[in-house]
Amino acid sequence: MKTKILLPLLAAAFGCAALPAAHAEDNWVVRFGAHVVDPKSDNGTLAGMKAHINNDTKPSASLEYMFNPNVGLDVLAALPFKHDVKLNGQKAASTKHLPPTIGVNYHFMPEAQISPFVGVGVNYTHFFDEKGRGILKGAKVQIDDSWGVAAHAGLDFKLSDKWLITADVRWIDIESDVKVGGAKVGKAKVDPWVYGLSFGYRF
């Protein structure tokens, strides 16, 4: 099911390359800031116990190529996020992950002082450095990587022709199988909201 959704999204993203650029320059926007990955409150059931995953904040960066004043292809990256996993309120594991996301944004009023935008894209989340903690200390914990849809919305605040501030939020579909000692114990349903604030520069 996810493959049927993701392939058309990727095709749409790269198909935008056929759109003519409106400028000879200033087609790129680079942003540096920070994002919070805030998993939803109910993260599924693992080994018959209710799972909870905490949030984390890390520095982030994005690069957007503007095909025209309204449409841009955006890539988001960040330093690895770290999360603790609790089962029935007891610490059970920790993990790190990298969640690169690519998507197409539509900017409604690109020439205005405040310009809202919305977007849709795809996310690939790579989990690594999983460790058993507390009740699972010493156990081998594995969390599978995840592909999912990502939705995006935000506001660009123009400071000058070159500089801007961006406040944005994303919802990302992240669901991964979890194994302990090689045996599947359930699916972690992370599905986080991702909040960010960045400084941007057009060039």
Domain boundaries, the chain: 2-16+26-202
Euclidean distance between CA atoms 152 and 123, whole angstroms: 11
When pLDDT is averaged across residues 125-132 and rounded to a whole number, the result is 96
pLDDT at 47: 86
pTM of the model: 0.85
- Cα–Cα distance, 59 to 131 (Å, whole number): 23
Residue 37 makes CB contacts below 8 A (sequence gap 6+) with 55, 56, 57, 58, 81, 83, 99, 192, 194
What pLDDT is stored for residue 43 in this prediction?
Answer: 87
Closest by CA to 158, choosing from 108, 107, 112, is 112
Q: How many CB atoms lie within 10 A of CB 190?
A: 26
State the chain's mean pLDDT as an integer. 90
The least confident of 12-21, 84-93, 105-114, 134-143 is 12-21
CA distances from 112 to 80, 102, 200 (A): 34, 25, 16
What's the CATH number of domain 2-16+26-202, 3.50.50.60, 1.10.600.10, 2.40.160.20, 1.10.230.10? 2.40.160.20
- Span 118-131, average pLDDT: 97
What's the pLDDT score for residue 15?
A: 52
Cα–Cα distance, 110 to 169 (Å, whole number): 18
Give the mean model confidence (pLDDT) for residues 117-145: 96
| Nearest C-alpha neighbor of 107 from the set 143, 158, 57 | 158
What's the pLDDT at 22? 47
- How far is residue 7's CA from residue 13's CA, in Å, rounded to a whole number? 10
Range from 23-37, 70-84, 93-107, 126-140 carrying the lowest mean pLDDT = 23-37
Q: What is the Cα–Cα distance from 33 to 31, expressed in whole angstroms?
A: 7
